[in-house]
Structure 1
Amino acid sequence: MIRKTLAASAILLSVVTSNALAAVTVCPSAVSIEQKKEEQGYSYSAPGPNGRVWVGENPFAEEGDLKTFVFTGAVYRDVSSEGNTDVVSCDYEGDEWYAFARMTLYSFRGWAPVNGTKWKPQPTAGKAETFNKIKYVEYCDSRTEKECEFNYKFLTTPPTGH
């Protein structure tokens, strides 16, 4: 009887521990994005998990663009075009030609799509020079943030300057 209790306790602890190690997050809603005027265009930020911040910028943006933003999808890359590892970027578009932003959260370990979402692996062979270090990419083609939820084990120190 004691062995059964210990075995059941060990299994329960294992399940609880594995769930505690994985966190689920999703792209920020367009209404949670704030903009700040820069020398050229605007920078954008939104609250992220564990006190982190989603960041983006658009040197061509106009003041009213943010009000028209809608979520258009997301991408996970094991290496970003700037050389940062394990990043998720969320895309937003507005009504005008240059009304857009890509909001990025740096950096993950243990990233994985949530089951039932619209994440799909993408081929990386033959990409342009800036992307030649990328080994793994997944896109989430959805206009609903919930369909682009993802898991991660933990966030690492974000890069400086972002």
Structure 2
Amino acid sequence: MIRKTLAASAVLLSVFTTNALAAIAVCPSAESITQKEDGPGYSYSAPGPNGRLWVGENPMAEEGDLETFVFKRALYRTVSSEGNWDVVSCDYEGDGDDAGARMTLYSFNGWAPVNGTKWKPQPFKEQAGASHKANYFAQCESLVQKECEFNYKFLTTPPTGH
């Protein structure tokens, strides 16, 4: 009986420890994104985990574009096109030809897809919006953000200027 209790306690401790070491994040809903006029076009932001912000921009955007945004996909890469490490970007498209934005959250340590989601590793080659320095890409093609959830151990300091 004591052995069964100890074994059960060890399993529970393992579950709680694993959950304590990893958090789950997901791309923001289109409804949570706000826009701000920014020179030509607009900049976008949405609340992220731990008080961080998802950020994006579109110099070709028009004022009403945000109302038509629909989530299309998520992309994880070890290095972004701007040279930032371990980033997740979420793509939104709108009704107009130039409507849409790529929302990015900087930067993750210990990124991994949540089991049962639609994340798929991508072949090693230069991907759209990714740096040639990146050595790993994963993409999640889905119209449902929850199908693109991911784990991370912690967020690191965001790059300056974002």
Interval of TM-score (by shorter of Structure 1 and Structure 2): over 0.9
Distance 1:132 1:73 in 2: 21
Amino acid at match of 2:43: S
The answer for the alignment partner of 2:32 in structure 1 is 32
1:33-73: CA deviation from partner (whole Å, max 9, x where unpaired): 00000111100000001111000000111000000000011
The answer for the alignment partner of 2:135 in structure 1 is 135
The answer for the alignment partner of 1:90 in structure 2 is 90
Distance 2:93 2:126 in 1: 27
How far the C-alpha of 1:144 sits from its partner, in A, is 0.9
CA RMSD of aligned residues (A): 1.7
How far the C-alpha of 1:127 sits from its partner, in A, is 5.8
1:111-158: CA deviation from partner (whole Å, max 9, x where unpaired): 111111111100123668x72201000010111111111111111111
Which stretch of the first structure deviates more once superposed, 115-124 or 2-11? 2-11
Unaligned runs of 5+ in 1: none
Identity %: 75
Q: Residue 14 of structure 2 aligns to a residue in which SS?
A: helix
- Do the aligned partners of residues 28 and 126 (structure 1) sit closer, same or farther apart at CA in structure 2, a change above 3 Å counting? closer
- Do the aligned partners of residues 127 and 72 (structure 1) sit closer, same or farther apart at CA in structure 2, a change above 3 Å counting? closer
The answer for the alignment partner of 1:145 in structure 2 is 145
After superposition, where does 1:74-89 map in structure 2 within 5 Å?
74-89=74-89
Counting matched residue pairs gives: 161
Q: Residue 135 of structure 1 aligns to a residue in which SS?
A: coil
1:116 counterpart = 2:108: no
TM-score, normalising length from structure 1? Answer: 0.92
Distance 2:20 2:127 in 1: 37
Distance 1:31 1:37 in 2: 18
How far the C-alpha of 1:95 sits from its partner, in A, is 0.5
TM-score, normalising length from structure 2? Answer: 0.92
1:81-123: CA deviation from partner (whole Å, max 9, x where unpaired): 1111110000001000010100000000111111111111001
1:17 counterpart = 2:45: no
Q: Is the 8 A contact 2:83 2:131 kept in 1?
A: no
